Structure 1
Amino acid sequence: MGFLRPHYPAVCAVLAVLCLFSITLSVSIGSARIPFLTVWSIILNKASLASIAPHWDMGRENIVWELRLPRALLAAMVGAGLGLAGTVMQAVTRNPLADPHLLGVSAGAGFGANLAILFLGSLLGVYTLPLFAFMGALGATAAVVMVGGISRAGGPTRLILAGLAVSFVIAAGSNVMIMLADPHAISSVVFWSLGGFGFAQWNNLVFPAVALLFSGVVFRYLAEQLNALAMGEETAATLGVNPRGLRILTLTVSAFLTGVLVAFSGMIGFVGLMMPHITRLLVGGDNRRVLPVSALLGAIFLVLADIAARRITAPNDMPVGVVTGLIGGLFFIVLLSRDRG
C-alpha cells in the first residue's frame, strides 16, 4: 500500500505536543487563571506520579482536578473519536463530504440519548445512555444506507441528501418526544442538541475512552483494506477484500463510537468532516497515516473550540456546537467551492 512518508513521525510528534499544550491551556484558562507549572504540579501530585509539596490552595486543586481536567480530556477524546469516524466514513463511502453529523448518525445518537433521558431514566444503570445512543446511531446509519445507498452508483450528493433527509425525520421525532415529555425534564435535552462538556466527570470518562480505544484498534487493523477500497471495488475484491462486509463492519463501529461520544457530549458537528481533509494535506491519503493524525487534529481542534466557547461569553459557557458549526459551515462552503472549481 505504499511506504510511509519520512516526515510522518515528526508530524505525529508535533501534533502530540500541541495536543498536550491545548489540554494544559484549557485547564489553565478560566475565571481563575492558573499557571501551567501549577497545573502540572497538581496533576502529577493527584495522579501519584510525583511527590510535590503543595504550594497551591485547595480551591485551585479542585478547579484543576475536578472541573477543568475532566472537561479537557472529554473534549480531546470526543474530537479524536469524531476525527476517526469521519475518516472512516469518507473512506468506505468514497465520499469526501461524509461525516457523522451530515450523514445523520449524530442525530440518531441524540434521538436515542433523548429517549433515555426523557422516558427511561436509569433503566439499565450507567449503560442506559451509551446503549440507547448507540442504537439510535446504528438505526440512523442503516436508514441512510437504505435511502441513499453506499455504492459508487449512488453518488456523493445522493448520500448527503439521504443523510439530511434522515436527520430531518429524526429531528421531528425528537421534537415529538419533547412535546410529550415532562416539562421539567425538557431543559435537560438542550445540552444534547447544542453540544458541550460542562457535565464531564472522572467517573463517566471511562465510556468514551474505551469506545475510542476499541474503535481506533479496529480501524487501524482495517486501514489497508480501506486503502484497497479506495482503488475501486473490483480492485479491492481481487486483493481479497469484501467491500460489502467491510462497509457494514466499519459503519457499525463508527455508529458505536459516535453513539457513545454523543451520549456524553451532545451533538457536535463538522469535526469529522474537516479533520480528514486537513490530514490528507499533511500526510497524504494512506489511511494508516490519516487515522492517527486525524484523531490528533480532532482532539486539538475540539479542545481549542471548547476554550473559545468558554471565553466568548464568559463567565457563561457557549455551547461548543455553536463554535464548531460556525467554523465547519464555512469550511463546508469552501470545500464545495473548490469542488465546483
Structure 2
Amino acid sequence: MTGTLQEGPTRLGRHDLRRRRALVYAATGALLAFGVVLSAGVGQLPIGPYEVLGSLARALGVPNTWAPTDPLIEQTLWQIRFPRVVMSALVGALLAAAGAVMQAIFANPLAEPGVVGVSSGAAVGAAAAITLGLTASGSWAVAVFAFLGGLAATLVVYATARAQGRTESVTVILTGIAVNAFAGAALAGLMFAGDTASREQIVFWQLGSMNGSRWGEVALVATVGAVGAVVAVSLARRYDLLALGDRTAGHLGVRVERLRVVSILLVALLTGVAVAFVGIIAFVGLVVPHIMRMLLGPANRALLCACLLGGAAVLVYADLLARTVVPSADLPIGILTSLVGGPFFYWLIRRNRRRAGGWA
C-alpha cells in the first residue's frame, strides 16, 4: 500500500489526503473565525464586525480606524463578550479532543468522555459545593469541587476496572455505567437535601451555560487545556498503532497499559477543566470526532487537530444560538447540544448496526 492510505471505502493518495486535510482545516478555521466575530457582535447591544475587529487589532497594538470610540462598547466586548466567546471555543475544543482520545483507546466511535464517569462525577462535586453553601466564595469553589469530583470518578473507574495488571476496555465501560448510576443517585440525594435555591442552581449548572465567564477562568482553562491538548497530539502515533490491536501494538513498542492509563487520566483532565466553570455540555465529544473522522479518516494526529478546531467552532455557534434563539433570555447551551447530539447518536447507532449486519 505504498503511497496510499486506506480511508473508509476509498483509497486516497497522499497528495489528495494532504489537500483534503488542508481544506478541512481552512474551512473549519474560517467558520471559527467568522463565528467569533459574529458572536462578539450579536447581543442586546449590537456591535458591528468592523468594530469587533478594530477592537481586537487595537488590543494587539495595530493602529486602525475601525476600533470603537464608545467606552461602553469596549467594556461590553472585553468584560462580557470576548471572555464568553473564548470560553466557548476552549470548552468545545477540549471536549472534542477528549472524545477523540476516548474513541481511539476504546476503538469505538460511540465512546465519549462521559463513559469514564467524569461528567457525572463533576456534577456531583458541583452539587456538593452548592448544597454546602460554598458558592458564597464565588464560582471557583464550584469549579474546584466539580473538577475534583470528575477526577475522583475517573480514578474509581480505573481502579475498579484494572485487574491482573491490565485494564479491559469493556470493563472500563461497564464500570463507568455503574459509577454514572451511583453518581445520579448521589446527585438526587444532594438535590433533596438542598433548599429550593440550591436545587435550581444545581439544575441550571447541569444544563450548562457560558454566561458570566471571566478572564481568570478563561486563562486557567486555556493553560490546562493547552497542556492536555499537546499531550494528546503527541500520543497520536501510538493511538494509530493501538488501532492494530493490543498485541500488535505491543510488538511495535507501544506500552499499551500505560497508554490507556495516561489517556484515561488525560480525558479526565480535559473534560474536568472544560466543564468545571460552565457545567455539563453533552454530545460534543461524540459528534465532532465522528464527523471529522468521516472527513479525514482515522489518522489520529490530523483528527485531533481537526477536533480542536471543529469543537471550538461548534460550541461558539451553539452559544450564539443559546443567546439569541429566545429573545431576552439565555438558553442553557446543554439543551441545544443535546437536541442535536441525541438524534445524531441515534443515527450513528443505526448506521453502525446496519454495517455490522446486526448486534454482536
Common fold, TM-score beyond 0.5? yes
Distance 2:136 2:74 in 1: 35
Q: Is the 1:101–1:268 contact (alpha carbons within 8 Å) kept by the matching residues of 2?
A: no
Deviation at 1:263, TM superposition (A): 0.9
Following superposition, the deviation at residue 99 of structure 1 comes to: 0.8
Contact 1:107 1:171 survives alignment (8 Å): yes
Q: Determine helix, strand or coil for the equivalent of 1:316.
A: coil
Between stretches 206-215 and 132-141, larger displacement belongs to 132-141
**Bigger Cα displacement from structure 2, 134-143 vs 13-22:** 134-143
- The alpha-carbon distance between structure 1 residues 154 and 60, as it changes in their structure 2 partners (threshold 3 A), is closer
Q: 1: CA distance between counterparts of 2:87 and 2:54?
A: 21
Summarize the alignment of residues 41-60 of structure 1 with structure 2, pairs less than 5 Å apart: 41-50=54-63, 52=65, 55-60=68-73
Question: Number of matched residues?
Answer: 339
The amino acid of 1:141's aligned partner reads: T
Using the alignment, how far apart are the partners of 2:73 and 2:136 within structure 1?
A: 37
Q: 1:284 aligns with which of 268, 291, 297?
A: 297
Aligned to 2:332: 319
Which of 296, 301, 312 is the matching residue for 2:314?
301
Max radius of gyration: which structure? Answer: 2
Q: 1:252 to 1:311 in 2, by over 3 A?
A: same
Q: How far does residue 9 in structure 1 lie from its aligned partner after superposition?
A: 2.7
Checking the alignment, whether the CA contact within 8 Å between 2:160 and 2:175 is kept in structure 1 is yes
Equivalent runs, 1:94-243 vs 2, <5 Å: 94-119=107-132, 121=134, 128-145=141-158, 155=170, 162-243=175-256
Indicate the residue corresponding to 1:17 in structure 2: 30
2:282 is matched with which residue? 269
1:69 maps to what in 2? 82
**How many Å apart are 1:261 and its aligned residue?**
1.2
Residues 109, 258 of structure 1: 8 Å contact kept: no
Correspondence 1:26-41 to 2 at 5 A: 26-41=39-54
SS in 2 for 1:196: coil
Question: Residues 195 and 268 of structure 1 are in contact (CA less than 8 Å); yes or no, is this contact kept in structure 2?
Answer: yes
Cα distance in 1, alignment partners of residues 158 and 108 from structure 2: 13
In structure 2, the residue matched to 1:6 is: 18
RMSD of aligned C-alpha atoms?
2.8
Q: Distance in 2 between the 1:63 and 1:279 partners? A: 34
Structure 2 portions without partners, runs of 5+: 6-13, 355-360
**Seq. identity, %:** 36
Contact kept? 1:45, 1:52, Cα under 8 Å: no
CA contact (8 A) 2:207 2:333 kept: yes
TM-score by length of 2: 0.85
Distance 1:152 1:177, change over 3 A: closer
- Structure 2 match to 1:250: 263
